[in-house]
Structure 1
């Protein structure tokens, strides 16, 4: 990827994640990145194209992080513990790949773009689908209801941790999901 393009994407990701997409203008991205407006528009014809590139960047980072955290899973119980322990570490801003915790960038972004069929919302939906597929990949033979339950609990944990600051919600998730796997749905 072109160095200037990558700088724009990384700068926009940082600013959008910290402040919200709609509250950050192109001029702020340019100022912080030090990239000229002409260069920005050479790579992105609109702010929406930049947003989609930023979503893709964060998606790739998150998928790589999640895969690293789950790849050594040996059982559903092990996956649950690895997943929610990793989430707790992220909530505490102790995951260098993900940086500080400001909630889920995809939930936040989808909320800023109220129409469910716009490209931003559709990309956020794709991200959630891909995350589910990663979790399912490390649960071979698991019933879809278990995968769905884990994913819903993961989303709830992220939202709860961000909105309430209760980062230890992950312990409750592990406990509840352990009960689920011991009493299959």
Structure 2
């Protein structure tokens, strides 16, 4: 990727994640990045195109981290528990590559776009579907019944999403760890 394009994406991501997409204008991105407007428009057709690029960039970073968390344990059950310990690390700013915690960039961005079939909302939805699939793959390692796999995937996914929202909205930095007793119970772990 072109170096200036990368700087624009990284700068925009940092600003959008910390302040919100609608609170940041193109001129602020240009000022912070030190890159000329002409260069920005040679890479992006407009702000929505830049927002999509930041979502794609964050998706790569987040998914790599998420996979590493899930793969940190060999058994499927333990990898699901690792997910909630990983959330605890993220909420408490112990995951440098995810930046200081400001909630889920995909939830935050989707909330700012009211048109449900916009490319931005579609990308956010696709990110969540990919995360759900990663969870489902781990659950499929220790549950054989497809219906039960789907039910458990929904439970784990919703707990994860709820923990993220609670950590942001309520400031509950222990929301990830607070899910562990429930996860332990429905996974029948000791």
Q: Does 1:63 align with 2:69?
A: no
Secondary structure of residue in 2 paired with 1:117: coil
TM-score (norm 1): 0.95
Deviations 1:93-139 (A, max 9, x none): 11011110000000000000012111111110000001111222223
Q: Does residue 140 of structure 2 align to residue 140 of structure 1?
A: yes
Aligned to 2:113: 113
8 Å contact kept, 2:52–2:123? yes
| Equivalent runs, 1:1-185 vs 2, <5 Å | 1-141=1-141, 142=143, 143-182=149-188
Deviations 1:16-56 (A, max 9, x none): 00000001000000000000000000000111100000000
Deviation at 1:165, TM superposition (A): 1.1
Superposition CA RMSD, Å: 1.3
CA–CA distance in structure 1, aligned partners of residues 172 and 29 of structure 2: 32
Query: How many residues get paired?
Result: 183
| Partner of residue 146, structure 2 | none
Structure 1 ranges of 4+ moved more than 6 A: none
Identify unmatched segments of 5+ residues in structure 2: 144-148
- Asked if the contact 1:75/1:139 (under 8 Å) is kept, the reply is no
CA distance in 2, matches of 1:139, 1:167: 26
